[in-house]
């Protein structure tokens, strides 16, 4: 297969994008710089872009430690989106974020081009756990924790049972299996409290571990569920 076609199908960009990358001598094939579009390659060759291995894969999965100040969308005319902070080495072709984190919320966000796994993770029938680290405006009482764990009314809807792990008098790790709009914030309003800091630390089997704010890493499908 021609090198430019290979790189395009790997999602590195359009044909014109790929030609520019080759012209800038940013591709190495088997440890040698290659800049000829029609150069022949196969899946057995080691192909690097800016030092990062480019694998011929149909589906891709990345996780980000999302910073506050960005909306979870592929594009927006008014606000900065999470797509804008994905590094150059990420293969962005048909990539989208799975689910949504509020603009002021930090933490684990999954990106993929795999529609079926996105549907599975977001389906209410699957009860996929999400863990949030929550800092509250006021003390979180034992009674409040009992109510959160039992389920609270968030405006005509009672949340499913959750789990709370106390971190401090005003901090907990909250595990929920739903993903309703502003759910965690609404749950805290229902117990006469407010969220002042919110960070998702786990989604399905994915964990932030020691990722810094803005960090992105590639994961395998097997790591997710």
Catalytic residue IDs: 102
Distances (CA, A) of 13 to 17, 94, 147, 197: 5, 11, 50, 37
b/e map 135-163, b = 16+ CB within 10 Å: ebeeebeeebbebbeeebebeeeebeebe
Rounded to 5°, the CA angle 48-208-223 comes to: 65
Q: Are 193 and 184 in contact (CB under 8 A)?
A: no
The phi-psi region of residue 146 (left if phi > 0; otherwise alpha if psi is between -120 and 50; otherwise beta) is alpha
Give the other-Cβ count within 10 Å of 205's Cβ.
Answer: 12
Please name the residues in contact with 2: beta carbons below 8 A apart, sequence gap of 6 or more. 37, 38, 39, 40, 41
* Block residue for tokens 């709009």: 181
**How many C-beta atoms surround the C-beta of residue 85 within 10 A?**
14
């Amino acid at each position: 297969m021609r090198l430019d076609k290979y790189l395009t199908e790997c999602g590195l960009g359009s044909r014109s994008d790929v030609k520019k990358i080759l012209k800038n001598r940013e591709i190495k094939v088997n440890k040698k710089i290659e800049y000829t579009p029609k150069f022949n390659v196969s899946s057995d060759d080691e192909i690097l872009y800016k030092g990062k291995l480019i694998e011929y894969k149909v589906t891709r999965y990345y996780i980000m430690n999302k910073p506050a100040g960005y909306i979870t969308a592929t594009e927006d005319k008014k606000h900065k989106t999470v797509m804008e902070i994905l590094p150059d080495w990420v293969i962005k072709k048909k990539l989208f974020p799975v689910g949504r984190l509020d603009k002021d919320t930090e933490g684990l966000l999954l990106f993929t081009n795999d529609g079926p796994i996105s549907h599975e993770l977001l389906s209410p029938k699957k009860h996929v756990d999400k863990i949030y680290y929550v800092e509250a405006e006021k003390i979180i009482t034992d009674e409040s924790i009992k109510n959160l764990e039992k389920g609270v009314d968030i405006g005509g809807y009672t949340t499913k049972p959750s789990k709370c792990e106390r971190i401090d008098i005003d901090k907990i790790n909250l595990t929920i299996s739903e993903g309703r709009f502003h759910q965690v914030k609404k749950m805290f309003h229902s117990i006469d409290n407010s969220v002042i800091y919110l960070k998702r630390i786990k989604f399905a089997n994915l964990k932030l571990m020691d990722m810094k704010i803005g960090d992105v890493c590639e994961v395998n499908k097997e790591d997710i569920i």
